[in-house]
Amino acid sequence: MPLLTDFISTFGDDHVSFDAGYQAPASPATHTVQPIVTGASVLGLKYNGGVVLAADTLGSYGSLARFRDLRRITIMGQNILIGASGDYSDFQKIQEILEDVVEEDFCLDDGRSHTPKEIYSYLGRVLYGRRNKMDPLWNTLLVAGMEEGSPFLGQVELLGTQYEDDTLASGFGAHIARPLLRNAYRPDLTEEEARNIVLECMRVLFYRDARTINKIQIAVVNANGANVSEPFSFDTNWSIGLKPGEN
């Protein structure tokens, strides 16, 4: 293939002009193609009068247990809980979006705020819109709150898929913990029973999931509002993995 220098030497400099102000076109837009720092499972369980969420605080950088105090359950407004699996930076972006919604409610000052089901629907449209732009937010979200006096629990995935249930789990917990939650669920569960159930499920996940740790948060939302506990560690017992006669 002829080179530019060959062209110039053949026709001479008088026949070639260059635009000194020419700029190369911008690089094509690029998007996140895979999560980087990720959080694992979030569990949700309804009880008689509210909802309990639970999540560990590990942020994994690939297979490296890099960050041990990433808090993946947040309170929106006063009575809505949002828990997230997946890419942590995308969860921070979602938090910014929700903060704008809360600020708009405050500025309107009409005595009304968005309900959990409205936020659940809104997040579904946000994630579906980003998916259509080929720039998804790599998260699975659990939304919990009180809707007209009744507990509400819904899940939104990165493709915009949405569904509600009495028990929900994201990440590896959808395979390991969800069956346990279903077996333990009763409509008349008390708050203490629900807390103990999700705690036991998180303990099982710690044994089975290489992307979790035994430092977790438990959040509760009921008619009195929403509350997220400080991270705490639970006891483990690895003797269950020993063969009979081993110490």
Q: How many CA atoms lie within 13 A of 102 on its CB side?
A: 13
- ∠ CA(141), CA(143), CA(148), 5° rounding? 165
Note whether 221 and 144 are within 8 A (CB).
yes
32 catalytic per annotation? yes
In the chain, % helix, strand, coil (3-state, to 5) comes to 35, 30, 40
Catalytic residue among 10, 30, 32, 212: 32
Q: How far apart are CA 60 and CA 41, in angstroms?
A: 12
User: Which bin fits 234, alpha (ψ -120 to 50), beta or left (φ > 0)?
Assistant: beta
Helices (H) and strands (E) in the chain, counts: 5, 14
Note whether 127 and 156 are within 8 A (CB).
yes
> Would you say how long the chain is, in residues?
247
Task: Give the active site residues.
Answer: 32
